[in-house]
Amino acid sequence: MKAIGLIAISLLSSVWVMTATAADGRLLATGGATTTEGVAGGGLVPWAVISGYTEDDEIGGTVALTRAQVDDYRLDVTAASFSYQNRLEISVAAQHFNLEDLGAELRQQVFGLKYRVAGDLLYTSMPQISVGALYKRNTRYAIPELVGSQRDSDWEAYVAASKVWLAGPFDRTWLANVTLRATRANQFGLLGFGGDRDDSHQITVEAATGVFLHRSLAVGIEYRQKPDNLSFAKEEDAMSAFIAWFPSKRVALVGAFLDLGSIAGATNQTGYYLSLQASF
């Protein structure tokens, strides 16, 4: 956790020294929010957007604090990202997962890289398409190993396509995103990677859609498919219904209803999600 904090501070210091500012040219909310993995997108799903509001030769960054609370578990995330030219994003996140009923905790570090390869969110008929990779390292591995996880760290790769329609149905701005991810993570990696049932990378589908009720206020839903690698407990897909407020290009606040299904044998895990993001 301390190492992640130092990396986040270093990223932000670099951004500040190089006089990064939120670009005037990009529209409000086009940098998205920060996911639980530190990547620009929604809450659960990485989108093709690049964090912040940089364009041309600009450098920018974001920091975010997130809490997800369901019936029996709590997840706290500290994240930061660095972006360049609305083309490249580097991110880092520290996850702290509290197993409240067991009096135990899991911790994971997530390092991300995303690159926009084609299209534009707004100005081309082609969706904006980005490719990304995540390296995840579980730093409290005793429990994952006990339940059948095969490794404490692993990589993931994904491709995301996002598109915004400024004059969509009901004369509102709409967004849609589809992400394909190669992963073998158990519960997002918090329970390690691979298992006694399956130890190979699988292609999972993730999606999001939203509508802007006002230029600074959006509502929508997200869906994330997950592998089911461990025989000790069934793993189910995750869903959320979110509301996102962008009062300025500097600040974003996201709240959501979460349905994470069954987690480690505890069924019907529902609750809330809150995330505060600052952009520089």
Cβ partners under 8 Å of residue 214, min gap 6: none
Q: Cα separation of 152 and 136, whole Å?
A: 8
Residue 24 has a pLDDT of: 53
Domain interval for residue 268: 2-279
Residue range 105-162, pLDDT digits in tens: 999 999 999 999 999 999 999 999 999 999 999 999 999 999 999 999 999 999 999 9
| Local confidence band at 179 (pLDDT 50, 70, 90 cut-offs) | very high
Which one has a higher pLDDT value, 189 or 20?
189
Give pLDDT tens digits for 1-44. Answer: 444 444 444 444 433 333 333 445 588 999 999 999 999 999 99
Give the pLDDT confidence score for residue 25 in this predicted structure: 58
CATH number, domain of 87, equals 2.40.160.40
**Token pair recorded at residue 46:** 């990485």
Would you call 3 helix, strand, or coil by DSSP? helix
CA-to-CA distance for 280 and 274, rounded, in angstroms? Answer: 20
* Mean pLDDT within 176-181: 98
State the total domains in the chain. Answer: 1
Size of the chain, expressed as the number of residues it contains: 280
